[in-house]
């Protein structure tokens, strides 16, 4: 019989518990979740990248709406539980919803600690705990005024870095002598302060807040010594406390948190607790790794395994601020029963400290160079006797055994049970075995199947090294390949840094990202122009001088130096007036060849460059717009006649094709984008070899994508079936926008899909309605600023400079 499982809270710990439970005991429980936040489950440890602009909210969602629907889970968003009736075995929300349970899981997390000083409830005082806090900070950051962050721990520094990247003048106040004193020794804390200040953030240590001052809203912070620091925003990041109130009110044993045994059971045998609200073995936890261990244990007990038990293990601390590398683990306090090994390289900004007891590692602090963190963690966890490598230990794993190893060999030498991903507790052997067993070839596939690097991402480099070791030359991530000779950065890093640093012009990108050439080259300038157009559609002015010649003149250059012009015919449909206009242009300009293209349009070849403005002027008078047959953008939507004419047609394929093309034309994409709509499974429009295709069937529209019929031949992947034209349009637009935001310049959609993973694309575009809608809306927003008719001014003579060659930056008169 199905049991009723109710979960209070929808954070990372209960989300991971459900993943384990659905795998171990599918169908055993009817699950209902009450979430105080009005949204789905998301990755809280990635809030800092959202604040800094490196990621968007949609990118940190763990389980979208589609996941809950797929698994039959009822999710009450924005419902806070106000009462647990243990006798009746029910819970009641603040909206009056009452649900019965057989098993109850409390995962209410923690609440931020607000220091009890005058003015702490004033407008402009925020905590840093959830997405609502981040959104409030982003709103405040628009003022680009002064902000104060109280607290120099992990969260405080991440908040400060995020606000500073958004243009605010930020000061960090920390009551202790050095930053992150719980995780770092004074030497590392000093180095960290220097690095934070080098980013333009002021740091004041030994600064005790006396009051927050202002008249109705924040105007500044007063310190104990009378100093007043002006500010319009104050963020408190001084710690958290377990949110155990609901359990205490219900008569469940609580201490600092909700007291649970090592099976995550509370004093009520039908109620479990996990996450930051739980206290196990006298300890409460705030880092994700032990919370995920709680999730594993709770799921095992709910599935009937009474033997599972929580085991404490130290978790490394890492700071999620781009450009600052630190790693801290274990006990590094001073004491008579221990010794230390220290390495300092002042010029390189490197500091390493190992704390030993009885020739065994008990603590590690690494700053500036953290690659050996996993190895030191493994030595500590196994309590390895390091006597024989005492003299070389501080230099890391590569220097053990007599001669230095290269980094890859060092990773190869790690034991199979060495922990690679601390957040998710994933060891080396699980990663390599899963890659081999499942034939995984992409980082995203490895993340999906093992969870390694799926949380904070700091172990990504190690995971990629393991992939290289396992797959050999067949794994060669393009992300580590430089864009061109002008930079050492790959496309993914450039895209990420453009967003993170708010770079909005090509010169700004080249200056901030330390380009090696003065003005770029034919490879990087078009790519940068595309990334800026895509990321800042409302702010960046498309630089046509950074486009290939074909895009600049809206025509394809031919081998004899003449050009071909392809006017757009929506869905391949034309009429007598359009045909007469083409015939007139052909006669007037003595065009030597007219040809029907594979995309159901007419191509006029042999046009002289000097005639192009006049050709387009005449075509424009007849209502033609550019067919973009030269573009890194939407080219054609090929159609068959569909149900209006064909006796086999199931839907109006021509109408849908025209609707898609008119909705999406003029939008740039990383590479050319070809589409097709076939009116029935006979597939006359050849939709199953296109970048995006639609096969119309009796029950709706089957969406295909990632096909190829050029240098590579590849059939499409099936994205899924939708019932209406409106749904088909939304899915196709969302898919295109996801590709626009994640694709590397000149990377066709089938190559992007292979890199990202078909399953991940399906999850985001088809299964997750919220994420799909967000992609769709961003595409619509960008279209407001697209060149809807790129020839409207050019043909009138206002923009004829677009035809000038780009000799100044060495561009050839060629498409690519």
Q: Is 808 a domain residue?
A: no
pLDDT for the residue 814: 33
379-410 CB burial, b ≥16 within 10 A, e <16:
bbbeeeebeebeebbbebbbbbeeeebeeeeb
Helical (H) or strand (E) element with 579 = helix 576-588
365-385 average pLDDT score: 88
Q: Do residues 277 and 106 touch, judged by C-beta distance below 8 A?
A: yes
Question: Same domain, yes or no, for 655 and 770?
Answer: yes
Q: What is the pTM of this model?
A: 0.61
Indicate whether 638 and 758 sit together in one domain. yes
pLDDT, one tens digit per residue, over 778-807 is 999 888 876 544 443 333 333 332 332 222
Q: Using CA atoms, how far apart are residues 495 and 513, in angstroms rounded to an integer?
A: 11
Cα separation values, 676 from 601, 641, 661, Å: 13, 12, 10
Q: Which of 59-73, 108-122, 322-336, 563-577 is least confident?
A: 322-336
Which of residues 251, 268, 302 is at a domain's end?
302
Assigned domain for 795 exists: no
Query: Cα separation of 402 and 399, whole Å?
Result: 7
Q: In which domain, by residue range, is 659 found?
A: 634-783
What is the C-alpha end-to-end distance of the chain, expressed in Å? 64
94 and 134 together in one domain: no
Indicate the range of 148-157, 390-399, 657-666 predicted with least confidence. Answer: 390-399
Q: In this predicted model, what pLDDT tens digit does every residue of 623-634 receive, in sequence order?
A: 888 888 888 889
Query: Residues 6 or more apart from 59 whose CB is under 8 A from it?
Result: 46
Residues shown for the chain:
816
Task: Read off the pLDDT of residues 432-486 as tens digits, 9 standing for 90 and up.
Answer: 999 988 888 888 788 878 888 877 777 777 888 888 888 876 776 644 578 888 9
**Predicted pLDDT at 476:** 61
715 and 646, same domain (yes or no): yes
Mean pLDDT of 695-713: 91
Task: Measure the CA dihedral 673/674/677/678, to 10°.
Answer: -140
Average pLDDT over residues 647-653: 92
Helices then strands, each counted (H, E), the chain: 24, 40
Distance between CA atoms of residues 135 and 50, nearest Å: 9
Residues 274 and 292 in one domain: yes
% residues pLDDT > 70 (the chain) = 94
Confidence check: pLDDT of 776 > 70: yes
Is the pLDDT at 73 greater than 90? The verdict is yes
- Reference 395, options 411, 377, 374, 372; nearest CA is 372
Residue 447: how many other CB atoms lie within 10 Å = 22
In the chain, the number of structural domains is 4
75 and 9 belong to one structural domain: yes
Rounded mean pLDDT of 279-299? Answer: 93
Helix (H) or strand (E) segment spanning residue 156: helix 154-165
Based on the number of CB atoms within 10 Å of its own CB, is 28 exposed (0-12), middle (13-18) or buried (19 or more)? Answer: middle
Of 205, 238, 271, the last residue of a domain is 238
Q: Does some domain include residue 346? A: no
Between residues 748 and 518, which one has the greater pLDDT? 748
Average pLDDT, the chain: 88
- How far is the C-alpha of 669 from the C-alpha of 746, rounded, in Å? 9
Residue 688: CATH number of its domain: 3.30.413.10
- Let me know whether 657 and 699 are in one domain: yes
Residue 708 and residue 740 in one domain: yes
Looking at the domain assignment, is residue 520 inside a domain?
yes
- Here the CATH number for the domain that contains residue 173 is 3.50.50.60
Q: Could you give the 3-state DSSP secondary structure of residue 174? A: strand
Domain assignment of residue 144, yes or no: yes
Residue 215 lies in a domain: yes
Chain-centroid distance, C-alpha 352: 31
**Residue 267: φ, ψ to 5°:** -70, -15
Task: Specify whether 700 is located in the same domain as 769.
Answer: yes
Which tens digit of pLDDT belongs to each residue from 46-61?
898 889 887 888 888 9
Please tell me whether residues 28 and 76 are part of one structural domain: yes
225 burial via Cβ count (<10 Å: 0-12, 13-18, 19+):
exposed
DSSP state of 755: H
103 and 173 housed in the same domain: no
Strand partners, 593: 605
Question: Distance of alpha carbon 783 from its chain centroid, rounded?
Answer: 23
Look at residue 678 and tell me whether its pLDDT is greater than 60.
yes
* Distance of alpha carbon 168 from alpha carbon 230, whole angstroms: 13
Mean pLDDT value of segment 535-548: 84
Could you tell me if 103 and 141 lie in one domain? Answer: no
In 215-322, which ranges are continuous DSSP H helix?
245-249, 288-302
Instruction: Tell me, yes or no, whether 434 lies in a domain.
Output: no
Q: Which two tokens stand for residue 794?
A: 């050019």
Query: What does the pLDDT look like over 162-194, one tens digit per residue?
Result: 999 888 999 999 999 999 988 888 888 898 999
Asked if the model's pLDDT at residue 575 lies above 70, the reply is yes
User: Do the domain assignments include residue 397?
Assistant: no
Average pLDDT estimate for 323-331: 84
Band of residue 91 on the pLDDT scale cut at 50, 70, 90: very high
The dihedrals phi and psi of 295, each to the nearest 5 degrees, come to: -60, -45
Average pLDDT over residues 92-101: 96
- Do the Cβ atoms of 184 and 519 come closer than 8 Å? no
Q: Which of the listed residues 201, 221, 238 is the one where a domain comes to its end?
A: 238
What's the pLDDT score for residue 257? 96
pLDDT of 406 reads: 56
């Amino acid at each position: 019989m199905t049991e009723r499982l109710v979960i209070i809270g929808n954070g990372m710990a209960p989300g991971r518990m459900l993943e384990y439970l659905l795998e171990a005991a599918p169908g055993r429980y009817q699950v209902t979740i009450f979430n105080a936040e009005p949204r789905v489950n998301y990755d809280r440890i990635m809030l800092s990248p959202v604040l800094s602009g490196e990621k968007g909210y949609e990118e940190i969602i763990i389980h979208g709406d589609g996941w809950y629907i797929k698994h039959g889970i009822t999710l009450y968003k924005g419902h806070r539980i106000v009462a647990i009736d243990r006798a009746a075995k029910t819970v009641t929300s603040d909206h009056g919803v009452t649900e019965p349970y057989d098993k109850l899981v409390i995962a209410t997390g923690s609440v931020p600690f607000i220091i009890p000083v005058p003015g702490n409830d004033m407008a402009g005082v925020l905590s840093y705990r959830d997405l609502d806090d981040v959104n409030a900070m982003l709103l405040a950051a628009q003022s680009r005024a002064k902000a104060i962050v109280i607290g120099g721990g992990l969260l405080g520094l991440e908040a400060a870095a995020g606000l500073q990247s958004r243009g605010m003048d930020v000061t960090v106040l920390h009551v202790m002598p050095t930053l992150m004193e719980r995780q770092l020794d004074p030497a590392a804390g000093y180095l960290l302060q220097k690095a934070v200040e080098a980013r333009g953030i002021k740091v004041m240590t030994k600064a005790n807040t006396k009051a927050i001052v202002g008249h109705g809203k924040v105007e500044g912070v007063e310190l104990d010594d009378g100093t007043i620091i002006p500010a319009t925003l104050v963020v408190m990041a001084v710690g958290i406390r377990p949110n155990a109130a609901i359990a205490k009110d219900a008569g469940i044993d609580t201490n600092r948190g909700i007291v649970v045994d090592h099976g995550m059971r509370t004093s009520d045998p039908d109620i479990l607790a996990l996450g930051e609200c739980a206290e196990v073995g006298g300890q409460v936890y705030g880092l994700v790794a032990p919370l995920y261990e709680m999730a594993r244990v709770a799921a095992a007990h709910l599935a009937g395994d009474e033997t599972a038990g929580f085991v404490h293990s130290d978790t490394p601390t890492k700071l999620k601020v781009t450009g600052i590398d630190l790693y801290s683990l274990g006990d590094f306090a001073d004491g008579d029963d221990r010794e230390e090994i220290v390495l300092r390289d002042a010029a390189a900004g490197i500091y390493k400290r190992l704390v030993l007891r009885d020739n065994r590692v008990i603590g590690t602090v690494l700053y500036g160079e953290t690659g050996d963190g996993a190895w030191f963690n493994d030595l500590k966890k196994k309590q390895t006797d390091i006597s024989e490598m005492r003299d070389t230990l501080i230099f890391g794993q590569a220097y053990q055994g007599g001669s230095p190893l290269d980094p890859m060999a060092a990773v190869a030498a790690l034991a199979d049970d060495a922990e690679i991903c601390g957040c998710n507790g994933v060891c080396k052997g699980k990663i390599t075995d899963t890659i081999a067993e499942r034939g995984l070839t992409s980082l995203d596939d490895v993340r999906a199947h093992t969870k390694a690097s799926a949380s904070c991402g700091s172990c990504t480099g190690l995971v990629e090294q393991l992939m290289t070791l396992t797959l050999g030359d067949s794994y060669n991530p393009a992300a580590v390949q430089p864009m061109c000779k002008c930079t050492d950065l790959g496309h993914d890093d450039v895209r990420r840094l453009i967003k993170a640093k708010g770079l909005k012009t090509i010169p700004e990108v080249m200056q901030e990202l330390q380009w090696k050439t003065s003005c770029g080259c034919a490879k990087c300038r078009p790519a940068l122009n595309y990334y800026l157009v895509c990321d800042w559609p409302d702010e960046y002015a498309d630089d046509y001088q950074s486009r290939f010649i074909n895009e600049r003149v809206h025509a394809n250059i031919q081998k004899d130096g003449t050009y071909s012009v392809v006017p757009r015919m929506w869905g391949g449909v034309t009429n007598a007036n359009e045909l007469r206009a083409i015939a007139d242009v052909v006669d007037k300009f003595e065009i030597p060849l007219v040809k029907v293209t594979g995309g159901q349009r007419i191509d006029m070849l042999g046009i002289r460059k000097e005639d192009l403005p006049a050709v387009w002027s005449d075509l424009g008078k007849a209502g033609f717009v550019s067919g973009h047959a030269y573009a890194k953008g939407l080219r054609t939507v090929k159609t068959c006649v569909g149900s209006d004419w064909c006796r086999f047609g199931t839907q109006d394929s021509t109408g849908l094709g025209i609707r898609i093309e008119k909705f999406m034309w003029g939008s740039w994409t990383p590479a050319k984008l070809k589409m097709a709509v076939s009116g029935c499974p006979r597939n006359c429009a050849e939709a199953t070899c296109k970048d995006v295709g639609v096969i119309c069937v009796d029950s709706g529209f089957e969406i295909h994508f990632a096909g190829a019929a050029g240098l590579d031949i590849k059939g499409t992947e099936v994205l899924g079936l939708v019932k209406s034209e409106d749904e088909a349009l939304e899915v196709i637009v969302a898919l295109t926008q996801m590709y626009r935001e994640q694709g590397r310049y000149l990377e066709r959609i089938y190559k992007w899909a292979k890199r990202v993973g078909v399953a991940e694309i399906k999850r985001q575009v088809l299964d997750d309605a919220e994420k799909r809608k967000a992609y769709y809306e961003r595409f619509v927003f960008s279209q407001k600023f697209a060149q809807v008719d790129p020839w409207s001014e050019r043909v009138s003579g206002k923009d004829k400079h677009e035809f000038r060659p780009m000799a100044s930056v060495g561009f050839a008169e060629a498409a690519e």
